[in-house]
C-alpha cells in the first residue's frame, strides 16, 4: 500500500486543496476509512487546466518515439507494482483481490498498447489533380483532454483514456470518481517516476458535492479541447449539453442494458459459465454486464437449473480474503437501487430462484447473487440496468422474438448470444443493435478491440487503433506552385 497518497497531483506537484478541505475514502466491505484526499473545487481545477495547457505547448512537439518510450517506462512500473495497485483498488472499491489484479493487468495493457501505437499514427499523401501541387494529411493532438472516470474500473478507465491521449500528444486533467480516487493517485506516482513531464498528467480529487461544478468547468473552459467521460447516460447527457457551447471534442462511454441470449442450439455449459463471468464481475457493476437473460423455451429449464446450481457456489464477502468471488456494492445508493429493483419484481410476481436479499451479517452493502424468473414487462428489471448481482431470466420462443426484446431499449453498448448454428450466428450478430457483440463468449474487452456503443450508450471508441481518434484532428496541407 506504499502507493497510497493523501494529496492530489497538479503540475508535477503533490498538493492539498486550496481550501485545505479533505474527504474520506471508505472501504465498502467494512466501512473503514482507507484514506483521505483533497476535496478540490473549481479554483483547483482551473490550476490543473492551466498546467495542462502550459505543458501542451511543449508536449505536442515531442516525437512519437519519445512519447512511446515514456509510456513504456510507465507500463513497466505499473507491471512491477501491480499487486500494490490491486490492494489499493480492493480496499477502496470492494472488488475481490483476484479480480482487482485482473483489472490491473487489463488496464496496464492499454499503456502498453498505446506506447506501441504512438509510432503508428500515420498521415497520407494524396494524389493531386494538378501537377504543381502536393497534398498532405496529418494528425495533430487536439490539446488538453479532460478525462472523467468512474468508480467501477478506477484503473482501466484512466489508462484506456490517458494512454491514447498521451500517445497522440495531448495533455490530461483527470477527475476520478469520488469513491475511488486512491487508485488514480497511485497511477500518478508511477507516471511521475517514469519521467512523464510535469503538467502532462494532472489529477483533481473532489467529493460528490464538488463534482458537478468541476465537470461544468472542464466542459466549458476554452483551454480544454476535449472531454472523455465514462459513466451514467444521465450525466453524459449533461456533459454533452455543457460541451456544446465550445463545440468540444467529446467521447462518451455511457450505460448499457446488455442482452444475454441463449438459443436452443447453444452449448449449455459454456453459456452458463459465460453468464457467471459476464454478470458477476465486480458484483455486476459493469457497463457491459449482461442485464437481460433471454433463454429459448426448449433449453430454458435446463439453463435455469444449471445456472442456479453454479450461482449458489459463489462466495460473497470481503474481497481482501482468499476465495471470494463477489464483494460488496460500492455504496448506499447502489445498494438501495438493487434492493428496490428486486423488491419491485417480487411484488409483481417474479420468482426468486436463489438470493434475493441482503447479507447484513457481512456488511452494509452486501447483496446475495440473485436469479429471478417469471419476469414481466411491468417490472422495472425488465427495462432498467440493474448494475448489481441480479440475473433476470425471460423465456422466448423464436429468434425474431429474442431480437425484438433485445433491441427494445435506448441503450446499445454490448450484447451476448450463444448458438452453435453458424447461419444464426451471422444473422443475430448483424441484427443486434449494439456496439460490441460476444458470440459464445462472455468476456470481450481487450486493448486491441474498439470499445463503445450505439444509441444512448455513447459516442466514439476507446482502445484499438481507433482509440486515438478522439484525441487528434486532421490537418490538410496543400503546397502549391511547384515547378
pLDDT, residue 137, reads 98
pLDDT, residue 402, reads 98
Q: Is it the case that residue 432 has pLDDT exceeding 80?
A: yes
122: left (phi over 0), alpha (psi -120 to 50) or beta: beta
155 close to 103: Cβ distance less than 8 angstroms: yes
User: Is 253 a residue of the active site?
Assistant: yes
How many angstroms from the chain centroid is the CA of residue 385? 15
For the chain, the structural domain boundaries read 8-254+457-478, 258-446
C-alpha distance from residue 46 to each of 10, 200, 215 (Å): 10, 15, 11
Rounded mean pLDDT, 115-136: 96
Q: Is it the case that residue 128 has pLDDT exceeding 80?
A: yes
Same fold, 8-254+457-478 and 258-446: no
User: What whole-number distance in Å separates Cα of residue 97 and Cα of residue 109?
Assistant: 18
Per-residue confidence band for 404, with pLDDT thresholds at 50, 70 and 90: very high
CB-based contacts of 229, cutoff 8 Å, min separation 6 = 147, 148, 235, 236, 239, 250, 251, 252, 253
pLDDT, residue 423, reads 98
Pull the grid cell for residue 422: 453458424
User: What whole-number distance in Å separates Cα of residue 470 and Cα of residue 141?
Assistant: 9
CB-based contacts of 301, cutoff 8 Å, min separation 6 = none
Q: Is it the case that residue 101 has pLDDT exceeding 90?
A: yes
Q: Is it the case that residue 408 has pLDDT exceeding 80?
A: yes
In DSSP terms, 37 is beta-bridged to 23
Q: How much of the chain, in percent, has pLDDT values that exceed 90?
A: 99
285 close to 152: Cβ distance less than 8 angstroms: yes
Architecture of the CATH domain 8-254+457-478: 3-Layer(aba) Sandwich (3.40)
Per-residue confidence band for 200, with pLDDT thresholds at 50, 70 and 90: very high
Per-residue confidence band for 38, with pLDDT thresholds at 50, 70 and 90: very high
Rounded mean pLDDT, 204-213: 97
Rounded mean pLDDT, 401-409: 97
Per-residue confidence band for 430, with pLDDT thresholds at 50, 70 and 90: very high
In DSSP terms, 259 is beta-bridged to 292
User: What whole-number distance in Å separates Cα of residue 313 and Cα of residue 104?
Assistant: 26
pLDDT, residue 357, reads 96
390-396 and 370-373 beta bridge pairing: parallel
Q: Domain spanning 258-446 has what CATH number?
A: 3.40.309.10
Average pLDDT for the chain: 97
Pull the grid cell for residue 129: 489533380
CB-based contacts of 243, cutoff 8 Å, min separation 6 = 219, 220, 227, 250
pLDDT digits (tens, 9 = 90+) for 353-402: 999 999 999 999 999 999 999 999 999 999 999 999 999 999 999 999 99
Q: Is it the case that residue 1 has pLDDT exceeding 90?
A: no
Rounded mean pLDDT, 146-154: 97
Rounded mean pLDDT, 198-225: 98
Catalytic residue among 50, 103, 112, 253: 253
- Cα dihedral value 5, 7, 12, 18, nearest 10: 180
pLDDT, residue 149, reads 98
The edge-to-edge listing of strands for the beta sheet with 124-126 is 124-126, 134-141, 472-479
User: What whole-number distance in Å separates Cα of residue 402 and Cα of residue 429?
Assistant: 12
Among 296, 299, 294, which Cα is nearest to 406's? 294
- Cα dihedral value 351, 377, 442, 83, nearest 10: -70
Residue 355 DSSP class: -
Rounded mean pLDDT, 146-157: 98
Residue 326 DSSP class: B
Amino acid at each position: 500500500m506504499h502507493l497510497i497518497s493523501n494529496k492530489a497531483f497538479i503540475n508535477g506537484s503533490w498538493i492539498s486543496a486550496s481550501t485545505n478541505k479533505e474527504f474520506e475514502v471508505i472501504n465498502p466491505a467494512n466501512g473503514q476509512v482507507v484514506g483521505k484526499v483533497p476535496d478540490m473545487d473549481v479554483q483547483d481545477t482551473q490550476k490543473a487546466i492551466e498546467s495542462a495547457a502550459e505543458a501542451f505547448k511543449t508536449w505536442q512537439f515531442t516525437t512519437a518515439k519519445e512519447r512511446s518510450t515514456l509510456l513504456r517506462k510507465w507500463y513497466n512500473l505499473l507491471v512491477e507494482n501491480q499487486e500494490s495497485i490491486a490492494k489499493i483498488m480492493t480496499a477502496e472499491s470492494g472488488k475481490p483481490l483476484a479480480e482487482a489484479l485482473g483489472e490491473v493487468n487489463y488496464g496496464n495493457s492499454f499503456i502498453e498498447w498505446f506506447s506501441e501505437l504512438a509510432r503508428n499514427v500515420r498521415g497520407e499523401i494524396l494524389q493531386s489533380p494538378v501537377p504543381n501541387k502536393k497534398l498532405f494529411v496529418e494528425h495533430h493532438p487536439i490539446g488538453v483532454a479532460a478525462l472523467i472516470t468512474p468508480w467501477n474500473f478506477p484503473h482501466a478507465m484512466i489508462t484506456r483514456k490517458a494512454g491514447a491521449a498521451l500517445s497522440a500528444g495531448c495533455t490530461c486533467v483527470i477527475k476520478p470518481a469520488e469513491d475511488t480516487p486512491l487508485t488514480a493517485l497511485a497511477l500518478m506516482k508511477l507516471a511521475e517516476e517514469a519521467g512523464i513531464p510535469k503538467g502532462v498528467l494532472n489529477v483533481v480529487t473532489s467529493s460528490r458535492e464538488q463534482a458537478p461544478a468541476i465537470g461544468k468547468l472542464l466542459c466549458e473552459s476554452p483551454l480544454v479541447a476535449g472531454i472523455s467521460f465514462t459513466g451514467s447516460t444521465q450525466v453524459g447527457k449533461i456533459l454533452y449539453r455543457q460541451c456544446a457551447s465550445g463545440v468540444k471534442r467529446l467521447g462518451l462511454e455511457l450505460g448499457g442494458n446488455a442482452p444475454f441470449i441463449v438459443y436452443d442450439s447453444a452449448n449449455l455449459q459454456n453459456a452458463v459459465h459465460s453468464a457467471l463471468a459476464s454478470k458477476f464481475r465486480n458484483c455486476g457493476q459493469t457497463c457491459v454486464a449482461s442485464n437481460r437473460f433471454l433463454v429459448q423455451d426448449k433449453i430454458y429449464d435446463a439453463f435455469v437449473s444449471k445456472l442456479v446450481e453454479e450461482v449458489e457456489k459463489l462466495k460473497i464477502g470481503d474481497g481482501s480474503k482468499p476465495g471470494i468471488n463477489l464483494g460488496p456494492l460500492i455504496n448506499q445508493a447502489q445498494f438501495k437501487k438493487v434492493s428496490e429493483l428486486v423488491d419491485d419484481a417480487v411484488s409483481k410476481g417474479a420468482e426468486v430462484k436463489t438470493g434475493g436479499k441482503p447479507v447484513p451479517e457481512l456488511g452494509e452493502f452486501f447483496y446475495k447473487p440473485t436469479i429471478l424468473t417469471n419476469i414481466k414487462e411491468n417490472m422495472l428489471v425488465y427495462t432498467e440496468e440493474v448494475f448489481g448481482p441480479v440475473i433476470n431470466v425471460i423465456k422466448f420462443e423464436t429468434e425474431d422474438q429474442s431480437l425484438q426484446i433485445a433491441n427494445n431499449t435506448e441503450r446499445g453498448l454490448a450484447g451476448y448470444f450463444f448458438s452453435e448454428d453458424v447461419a444464426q450466428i451471422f444473422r443475430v450478430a448483424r441484427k443486434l443493435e449494439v456496439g460490441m457483440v460476444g458470440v459464445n463468449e462472455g468476456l470481450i474487452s481487450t486493448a486491441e478491440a474498439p470499445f463503445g456503443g450505439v444509441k444512448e450508450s455513447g459516442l466514439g471508441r476507446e482502445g484499438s487503433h481507433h482509440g486515438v481518434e478522439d484525441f487528434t484532428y486532421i490537418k490538410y496541407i496543400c503546397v502549391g506552385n511547384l515547378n
